[in-house]
């Protein structure tokens, strides 16, 4: 009996960031959890985050060290070619996301705090660049001893067309409006506890946005109010055992049914499993499991499976997810790939 295969694009850190990757690689996952290397899809310098166009065979990649964003076009089963020229970004551009309507992409820059919108044409090519400006909240932008730099870390497209971004340095979640030809205009912001470091986000089907924090290793619930603004409504530890010295939160992902959230913790190399209520209002840490490698930078969930990119051990591992408890079991499969930094399911 043949097994179904799922293609996974894998971003990486390359020699320019002291990594062992070569560019964007392709992996295959079958329905028994086994992982196989398909090969290098395209060479690129530290394409540390990737995002797929919602309708076209186009993928967008940041060059974290090179401070650019570039489009790539799928040319075969697992091959990519550069599509257009690289566009300038900011210092340590670490994340990119695509508008569900394919109108634009947003890149966020850890190094200098820029949030940059790039408009797209009907072929998915980048046509313009606008760096957004946000008012700095003095309450969160300074600590008792020194000013803290802005560190934009990720973006999330909201169903109403707005864009949400995290600022890990200023402990803010910002909400922006998109204006065609003008870029992003600030709508409002949500203040998280000082020193928490909001990093990545996942939207629950209830509308609640769950935000994991890099510094405090927690999960925040941000819920939209009747007036359209978002408010911080809950904040819980990601782990049942608490954060340990040297820990850093990484990725957050939800199970397809929204009952469970999975948070990667670098340092102690764990995947933390949290239970989420149907309305997204209650979050509770359930269990921690070893990530199967070293430095779990990113992970992705698909029906019944969890795939973890372990940057430090140069591998991707698969775990079977218990349908009742949501707990990862394994690792079931493992494949070597240099300094993996992001996993994206190809469609």
Residue 90's pLDDT is: 96
Residue 142's pLDDT is: 55
User: What is the three-state SS of 57-78?
Assistant: CEEEEEECCCCEEEEEEECCCC
Rounded Cα gap, residues 10 and 110, in angstroms: 20
Block means of pLDDT (10 residues each) for the chain, length 347 residues? 80 98 98 97 98 98 98 96 97 98 98 97 98 67 68 97 96 96 95 96 98 98 97 97 95 98 98 96 97 98 96 98 97 98 95
Residue 150's pLDDT is: 92
Any idea how long the chain is? 347
pLDDT tens-digit map of 75-94: 999 999 999 999 999 999 99
Cβ neighbours of residue 227 under 8 Å, at least 6 residues apart?
Answer: none
The domain ranges of the chain are 5-345
Mention the CATH class of domain 5-345. mainly beta
* 50's tokens: 């990737």
pLDDT tens-digit map of 121-156: 999 999 999 999 865 554 555 555 567 889 999 999
| Partners of residue 131 on adjacent β-strands | 116
* 73's tokens: 């076009």
């Amino acid at each position: 009996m043949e097994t179904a295969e799922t293609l996974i694009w894998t971003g990486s850190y390359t020699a320019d960031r002291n990594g062992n990757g070569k560019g964007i690689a392709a992996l295959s996952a079958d329905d028994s959890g086994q992982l196989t290397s398909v090969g290098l899809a395209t060479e690129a310098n530290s394409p540390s985050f990737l995002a797929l166009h919602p309708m076209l065979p186009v993928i967008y990649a940041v060059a974290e060290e090179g401070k650019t964003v570039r489009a790539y076009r799928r040319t075969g089963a697992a091959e990519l070619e550069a599509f257009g020229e690289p566009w300038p970004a900011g210092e340590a551009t670490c994340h990119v996301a695509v508008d569900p309507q394919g109108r634009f992409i947003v890149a966020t820059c850890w190094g200098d705090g820029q949030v940059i919108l790039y408009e797209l044409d009907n072929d998915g090519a980048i046509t313009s660049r606008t760096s957004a400006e946000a008012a700095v909240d003095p309450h969160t932008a300074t600590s008792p001893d020194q000013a803290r730099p802005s560190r934009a870390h990720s973006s999330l497209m909201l169903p109403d067309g707005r864009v949400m971004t995290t600022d890990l340095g200023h402990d803010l979640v910002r909400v922006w409006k998109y204006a065609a030809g003008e870029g992003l205009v600030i709508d409002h912001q949500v203040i998280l506890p000082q020193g928490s470091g909001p990093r990545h986000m996942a939207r629950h089907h209830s509308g609640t946005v769950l935000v994991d924090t890099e510094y405090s290793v927690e999960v925040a619930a941000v819920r939209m109010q009747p007036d359209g603004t978002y408010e911080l409504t809950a904040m819980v530890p990601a782990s049942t055992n608490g954060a340990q010295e040297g820990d850093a939160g990484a990725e957050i992902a939800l199970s397809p049914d929204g009952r469970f959230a999975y948070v990667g913790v670098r340092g102690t190399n764990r995947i933390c499993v949290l239970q989420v209520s149907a309305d997204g209002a209650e979050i509770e840490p359930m269990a921690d499991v070893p990530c199967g490698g070293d430095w779990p930078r990113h992970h992705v969930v698909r029906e019944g499976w969890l795939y973890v990119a372990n940057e430090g051990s140069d591998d991707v591992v698969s775990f079977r997810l218990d349908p009742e408890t949501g707990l990862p079991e394994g690792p079931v499969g493992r494949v070597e790939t240099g300094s993996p930094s992001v996993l994206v399911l190809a469609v």
